[in-house]
Structure 1
């Protein structure tokens, strides 16, 4: 029995059951779309709960969620298509086929940031206050959404024989790797990393409810920026399908810049003790907690 355990471990592998969850006549429900929709619903509910704990109107988060969806998803797709234009120029009908996969989280973050800035200016709210309420949900949603890559057999890494290897069907393998069957499940690495960052953010949030002085507004957003980007840099280095500019991986460049900006923001907040630039005057840069 004990001798069989190593063999069972070595035989273990991930293998996608396929991108389609169920097909009912002309209606097709794909795993990717279901996971993205689930991530949005869970994220909105969580952010509304966090808003209540910070004495922020949860209806503002519900309104912001609409802006985020409108800003983030199209930008995530546009970002991906622009860097893969040679592929989509041959099949322009696939540009809007977001259900087949092919969105970039950095594009979503940029689109979501622009939407948040516009929303905050209209509503006269702090961008950083909103960001601190949203980033725990964002990183949790990223952890959930990465499993869409698993079902689509995409966003995997280089070949490997590790016990947790991922089987990729021949038609999904990139040029030059057709004779390899097993690859690093980078979707899993990033999902687990994102769950770790989520745990850190949510722990800091609830610890801050009971401690004074409170975290300065923008702290959680900056920690998200640094934490997620640090993981993305090393995970991206394993992938075989990175968006490229010449020999450079776009995600690694953006992640490095994000880390530097995040660290600079934290230094600005805690070393220089200055509030972050905002669309509204920084009148109250620390939150009051809701009494139990």
Structure 2
């Protein structure tokens, strides 16, 4: 495992952060190409993507500070280095992005189609980051490609590596689908359905959330619920008239 690319005294350069930054820049660059494929202004899509990323960063930090104000006042720099993207932050980011698309007159489904391979590309980079830092632990395995995370000597499924490979393949599929799409929404519905299915299946190789094994009322873990939600949204996009969805914002 290589959690840090650079570790010199108090200077730490986390591998996950570097890969995440590279993934975001690669996704923004790819959006210039996907925008042209779906007939959108590349500059407008770049700006929309950059706005969404900045909103995700800013809103997550604001929520982190608001919910941990005492700790922030005591250790401001330390708290701001803590990963803070939550479900609430993601929801607020989505709402802000929808408002931005409305203001900039960007069609919803065309924009989401163009963003679909970009999002799966980011997923691939983030998964590689998790693999490098040794997080996203899997269940024990006897397979030869199992990995050991010190100090344990037990071989585990490299779930993060599985996810990175799946996301990279999905990116290529979505790029091909984007070129051959018949109507707006085809690419994003495929992306949601495929990513949801992959995430659901990957949970069978991950170590379960602690409370999912102690409570008889929790049938699925949070990632599985989110994955099912993605599949449902994909079905809604496919079933509803595309014009109705496009003018929903």
Q: TM-score, normalised by structure 2?
A: 0.81
Q: CA RMSD in A?
A: 3.1
CA distance 1:48–1:71, shift in 2 (3 Å): same
Q: CA deviation at 1:229?
A: 0.3
List per-residue Cα deviations over 1:50-83 (Å, max 9, x = no partner): 212333211112211222212334667899x8xx
Who is 1:163 aligned against? 144
List per-residue Cα deviations over 1:81-128 (Å, max 9, x = no partner): 8xxx9xx9xxx9865334xx6757x77764553232011111122122
Instruction: Choose the corresponding residue for 2:228, options 256, 261, 265.
Output: 256
Task: Note if contact 1:72-1:107 (Cα within 8 Å) is conserved in structure 2.
Answer: no
List per-residue Cα deviations over 1:223-281 (Å, max 9, x = no partner): 11111000000101221264866543101011112212212321224xxxx52424578
Aligned residues between the structures: 235
Who is 1:232 aligned against? 199
What is the DSSP-based 3-state SS (H/G/I as helix, E as strand, rest coil) of the residue aligned with 1:150?
helix
Give 1:1-292 correspondences, 5 Å limit.
Answer: 16=1, 18-23=2-7, 26-73=10-57, 96-98=80-82, 110-170=91-151, 181-208=154-181, 215-240=182-207, 242=209, 246=215, 247=218, 248-269=220-241, 274-279=242-247
CA distance 1:74–1:197, shift in 2 (3 Å): farther
CA distance in 1, matches of 2:84, 2:58: 11
Task: Note if contact 2:56-2:85 (Cα within 8 Å) is conserved in structure 1.
Answer: no
Higher helix share: 2
CA distance 1:54–1:234, shift in 2 (3 Å): closer
Task: Note if contact 1:156-1:241 (Cα within 8 Å) is conserved in structure 2.
Answer: no
Q: Which has the larger radius of gyration?
A: 1
CA distance in 1, matches of 2:209, 2:56: 20
CA distance in 2, matches of 1:71, 1:244: 31
What is the DSSP-based 3-state SS (H/G/I as helix, E as strand, rest coil) of the residue aligned with 2:180?
helix
Gaps of 5+ in 1: 1-15, 171-177, 209-214, 282-292
Q: TM-score, normalised by structure 1?
A: 0.70
What is the DSSP-based 3-state SS (H/G/I as helix, E as strand, rest coil) of the residue aligned with 1:167?
coil
Task: Note if contact 2:4-2:14 (Cα within 8 Å) is conserved in structure 1.
Answer: yes
What is the DSSP-based 3-state SS (H/G/I as helix, E as strand, rest coil) of the residue aligned with 2:80?
coil
CA distance in 1, matches of 2:84, 2:133: 10
CA distance in 1, matches of 2:117, 2:32: 11
Who is 1:285 aligned against? none
CA distance 1:224–1:125, shift in 2 (3 Å): same
Task: Note if contact 1:243-1:251 (Cα within 8 Å) is conserved in structure 2.
Answer: no
CA distance 1:41–1:73, shift in 2 (3 Å): same
Task: Note if contact 2:38-2:178 (Cα within 8 Å) is conserved in structure 1.
Answer: no
CA distance 1:164–1:45, shift in 2 (3 Å): same
CA distance in 2, matches of 1:252, 1:63: 32
